[in-house]
Amino acid sequence: MQFPNAPLVAPDLSPLPANEAQRLQALWTSQLLDTPPEPDCDALVRLAAQTLRMPMAWLALADADRLWFKARMGFDLTEMQRAIAPCAHTLLRPDQPLIVGDLTQDNRFAAQPCVLGAPHWRSYAGVALVNAQGHALGTLAVASPMPCAFSLQDAANLHDLGLLAQDALDKRRLTQQLIHMSLSDPLTGLSNRNAYHQALQVELAHAMRCGEPFSVLCMDLDGFKAVNEGFGHAAGEEVLCEVARRLREQVRLGDVLARFGSDEFGVVMRRGAQESAQALAKRIVQNVSAPITLSSGDTIGVGISVGIASYTDDIDSTVTLLKHADQALFQAKQQNEKRWKMFVGIR
């Protein structure tokens, strides 16, 4: 049995699934968009083209207004306007493939740029990639510049390949989640000690090659023990999350902000010389010291002490640099009037 063309209907240039908002949220949460090419996705696209005997194939993710090609063969586009692609219609019925033997005979697609011009799709077969929650994140599809007749077996093969493609995306997402969990603090969402030390190693290696300055900050809350003892550990966690939020507001994009545990935090300030690090420390002390209102309605206050160490030619390891920052932090805790200290070495 062959699939006929879809019936002629009035064109709809921007069809949207009923669950579009939830679908987009699932897609963005997956962190699959704009990721580098991967061998398993490329292999699936080649297999789809070979199995259905088509010269063009792709695995695409459907963003709000674009169709982004995670893997493709037979054409050069990296993305296209979602509304004009047949895949936009494939998302509407994620439970069945969309098969169109001749796009020029279907009013939904006949006048579209992808049919009239490059990549010159004349026939199309696509299946939605549906995650475990039922959201169609994208499509696996094939196309040809010639009209084609697709069989029921072709549709079944495409369905099976779509399941394999979704499984590959799920495994990648799970891997990324595990990596993120291993490098992040579960309470605040900041980087953890492992991520901090990785960033520090990279920055030290760069500085040793190029001589570009950078700084590290080690920080410790003042008065946090009293919050835990007076208001309980739940209140303490609220304080830590609020402090983390305030710290995020102060660090620059590209700097690595981490929580080491309990009430200890750190920053790897990339391309940050002493003056920039001191200015950051001053802002942090002022910002964190502002009163914090708990969900209980109680208002409390904590302070923060900051120790700073900057890279110089004398630094030979991350251990040395962190030792200097810890020494500066110890000195900062002894002086209540400023609460931050730059390591200046032995005189």
Catalytic residue among 63, 263, 298, 316: 263
Q: For helices 152-182 and 39-51, give the axis angle rounded to 10 degrees.
A: 180
H/E stretch holding 127: strand 123-130
Residue 44 identity: L
Tell me the C-alpha distance between 230 and 187, whole Å.
21
- List the one residue out of 97, 64, 55 whose CA is nearest residue 82: 64
H/E stretch holding 275: helix 274-288
Residue 316, CA distances (Å) to 200, 207, 218 in order: 13, 11, 19
Tell me the C-alpha distance between 119 and 74, whole Å.
9
Annotated catalytic residue 263: yes
Tell me the C-alpha distance between 87 and 227, whole Å.
55
Tell me the C-alpha distance between 308 and 266, whole Å.
10
- Looking at 142-292, list the stretches that DSSP marks H as alpha helix, in order from N- to C-terminal side: 152-182, 193-210, 224-231, 233-250, 274-288
- Looking at 31-151, list the stretches that DSSP marks H as alpha helix, in order from N- to C-terminal side: 39-51, 87-90, 113-116
Tell me the C-alpha distance between 318 and 216, whole Å.
10
Q: What are the residue numbers of the active site?
A: 263
